[in-house]
């Protein structure tokens, strides 16, 4: 709706403002759309990264409580897990009986 109002305003402005100024205004309007889109994507990415960081923290806390202090290599490997692996590990974590059972989830430690 707001874009329609802006376009309509520009059309009406065409009678008041010269064509060059009108073109500049149109370009600025288009840039605002791009900036808003980039800001939205940035916020979404930030939320996703925050969720993953929280998930990693909880997984480490649960594993530490269950098995004691984690080896540094394991802790670092958990930091590199992708979101789908984190989701699977979070769901299965209570079924893991030995720290060695983490191999299928974290093969690089």
Position 12 scores a pLDDT of 62
**Stated pTM of the model:** 0.65
Closest to 102 measured CA to CA, from 54, 59, 52, 57: 59
Mean pLDDT of all residues in 11-36: 75
Please give the Cα distance from 83 to 104 (Å, whole number).
15
Structure confidence by residue, pLDDT tens digits, 68-83: 999 999 999 999 999 9
């Amino acid at each position: 709706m707001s874009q329609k109002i802006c376009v309509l305003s520009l059309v009406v402005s065409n009678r008041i403002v010269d064509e060059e100024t009108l073109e500049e205004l149109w370009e600025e309007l288009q840039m605002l759309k791009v900036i808003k889109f980039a800001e939205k994507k940035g916020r979404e990415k930030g939320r996703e990264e925050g969720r993953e960081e929280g998930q990693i923290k909880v997984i480490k806390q649960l594993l530490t409580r269950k098995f004691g202090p984690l080896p540094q290599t394991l802790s670092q490997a958990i930091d590199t897990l992708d979101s789908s692996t984190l989701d699977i590990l979070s769901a299965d974590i209570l079924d893991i009986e030995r720290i060695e059972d983490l191999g299928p989830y974290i093969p690089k430690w």
